Structure 1
Amino acid sequence: MKASFESIVDVTAIGGQNSAKIHELLTLASKEELVQSVQDTDRVLFLGIDFQNDFMENGGLAVPNSHQDVANVTRFIYDNMERITTIAVSIDTHEPQQIFHPSWWVDLSGHNPEPLTIISAEDVDNGKWKPVEHYEVSKDYVHNLEKLGKKQLCIWPYHCLQGTNGAALESQFSNMIHFHSIARKSKLQKIVKGLDPLSEMYGIIKAEYDRSDYCNHEFLQSLKGYDKIIIAGEAKSHCVLESVKQIAEHYAKDREITSRIFLLEDCMSPITGFEESTNEEFKQLQIQYGINIVSSNSFSMD
């Protein structure tokens, strides 16, 4: 590598304003003389889940320790620039009026719920919480969440609103993945999720529940083309966990593929209050599907 890590990433600016000018950064990347990704014999996918401003420590839905996660993951990508074939990132994207935002619901006094309020099917049935509109489909949604054994509907702070700074990729992470795209002549894949106002989409493959039963089959199929699938992101307890579960469940009968999954444990953190349950679920994924949980500074690509 000709460019230093520090010329790409300013760790003191994580979660803040980007001082780098993208044209100058990518011009610097174009001067690297690295092997083009298309020539890789050992194909490696890095999947970064929701590394966005609103999930940083000063964001709208802050994840504790997310700044250190970004510092670790950008260093990992830099150190493995010549080994990572493709980078794909998910971008959580919402509007104010969505079923998991406060504006969707009111109580008997006409007040919106506070963030982290749990709304059960029983709450809707007995009128404790009522949607401002779309009553029948909202009722159907919370009932199906419970029927399918999903997380109950949680009201989140307004976050990742389309077109706002909170929805943008965190600046230093963005610097690194775009640098990789130019330096390795590799197309950066951006997966936008979460736009349906009537569903939650923690995982990148499909919603928690929706009537159309959408599934990102194209991305699932693409995973067969990689020898290693490395995953990190925010939050470990929700969007990372559900993404990994959805991939693993799809390939439940093909352990050869699920065993290619490597989670960077020091590049993802849970939302406060979900630590224990998240760790237990990941342990079960290890046992059931053979996924690997590793540290970014000790994981060998060989």
Structure 2
Amino acid sequence: MRTKLLIIDPQNDFCDIEGAALPVAGARDDLRRLARFIDAQAARLSDITVTLDSHASVAVERTSFWLTREGEVMAPFTFITAASVAAGEHRPRDARLTGQVMAMLNQLAAAGKAGMVVWPVHCVTATWGHNIQSDLADSLAAWEMAHQRAVAKVLKGEYPLTEHFGVFEADAPVASVPGTQFNRALAASVASGADFVAFAGQASSHCVAASYDQFMRFLASAPAFAPQVVLLRDCMSPVPGFETLADGLFERARAAGSLVLGVDEFAERIR
């Protein structure tokens, strides 16, 4: 039996610890619980893939990119739409980018997304906040030592003019930027030969949810792959204020035939 883990954005900036830029309540305990699972089940885990939210300090989904109509700093968690930008309520600090931003927001609207949330600056590549939470990092290193091969680490979000919640595809893909397009090679790598593909990480309301939805879309288009998909519900938590999005994820998963399990329940399945 081959069991694969896909761990979404298990980074310091998402943990409820001192210094985190975008703390998710419960995230540190989630990742410690996941680390203990990896330690206990290392021999049964055939592959581990870790995604890393990876941004410049200035990008379209963060406060550093935007100003209010009055020229003031944008408040975190502001919701921006094409209409609010057209009206001048929200504007890029660099006015030359307005056209590209409007095109991106209109692309989101065409996909059924009303707009985008502006987040605190977080997960800036190569900073402390970008690093994997320490307990989990230790467990991943031990798994690598035991298996004598690397945990796959995948950076997402490097293109600065679109949000990139899901690891497989940006929210508004750009035809000229391959890193924003659907990554079929990654999806196939995760699915290939797997009996179970288990999702964990942060946050269940956003990046886990988007990654899950994208992976399920891939599986629907690739019948040669048929892993049992699992959400480890006690190894992920929602961004505070967005709990209903996490509830929606679990409802969709159950309806699609995926398993929503505690990590101890899952350990019993793979023994």
1:161 to 115, 120, 124: 124
Shift of 1:283: 0.7
Shift of 1:257: 4.5
| Structure 1 residue 215 corresponds to structure 2 residue 200 | no
Distance 1:168 1:268, change over 3 A: same
Q: Deviation string for 1:146-205 (max 9, x for gaps)?
A: 210136211100100112100011111001011101112232100011110001111110
Q: Partners in 2 of 1:200 and 1:258 — Cα distance?
A: 29
Alignment of 1:1-302 (within 5 A): 42-58=1-17, 59-133=20-94, 134-150=97-113, 152-212=115-175, 214-222=181-189, 223-252=191-220, 257=225, 260-287=228-255, 289-299=256-266, 300-302=269-271
Could you tell me whether the CA contact under 8 Å between 1:93 and 1:194 is conserved in 2? yes
Distance 1:250 1:295, change over 3 A: same
Could you tell me whether the CA contact under 8 Å between 1:98 and 1:197 is conserved in 2? yes
Q: Partners in 1 of 2:125 and 2:166 — Cα distance?
A: 18
One-letter amino acid of the structure 1 residue matched with residue 59 of structure 2: Q
Could you tell me whether the CA contact under 8 Å between 1:141 and 1:199 is conserved in 2? yes
Could you tell me whether the CA contact under 8 Å between 1:150 and 1:208 is conserved in 2? no
Q: Partners in 2 of 1:86 and 1:251 — Cα distance?
A: 18
Secondary structure at the aligned position of 2:182 is classed as coil
**Bigger Rg, structure 1 or 2:** 1
Could you tell me whether the CA contact under 8 Å between 1:85 and 1:186 is conserved in 2? no
One-letter amino acid of the structure 2 residue matched with residue 241 of structure 1: A
Could you tell me whether the CA contact under 8 Å between 1:90 and 1:192 is conserved in 2? yes
Distance 1:258 1:142, change over 3 A: farther
One-letter amino acid of the structure 2 residue matched with residue 238 of structure 1: H
Q: Partners in 1 of 2:224 and 2:32 — Cα distance?
A: 31
Shift of 1:124: 0.8
One-letter amino acid of the structure 1 residue matched with residue 7 of structure 2: G
Q: Deviation string for 1:32-67 (max 9, x for gaps)?
A: xxxxxxxxxx22111111110000102100000011
Q: Partners in 2 of 1:298 and 1:221 — Cα distance?
A: 26
Stretch deviating more after TM superposition (49-58 or 208-217): 208-217
Q: Partners in 1 of 2:258 and 2:265 — Cα distance?
A: 17
Q: Partners in 2 of 1:85 and 1:180 — Cα distance?
A: 10
Runs of 4+ in structure 1 off by over 6 angstroms are none
Q: Partners in 2 of 1:169 and 1:280 — Cα distance?
A: 27
Shift of 1:113: 1.0
Q: Partners in 1 of 2:133 and 2:124 — Cα distance?
A: 14
Could you tell me whether the CA contact under 8 Å between 1:94 and 1:195 is conserved in 2? yes
Shift of 1:259: 5.4
One-letter amino acid of the structure 2 residue matched with residue 227 of structure 1: D
Query: How many residues matched?
Result: 260
Stretch deviating more after TM superposition (114-123 or 180-189): 180-189
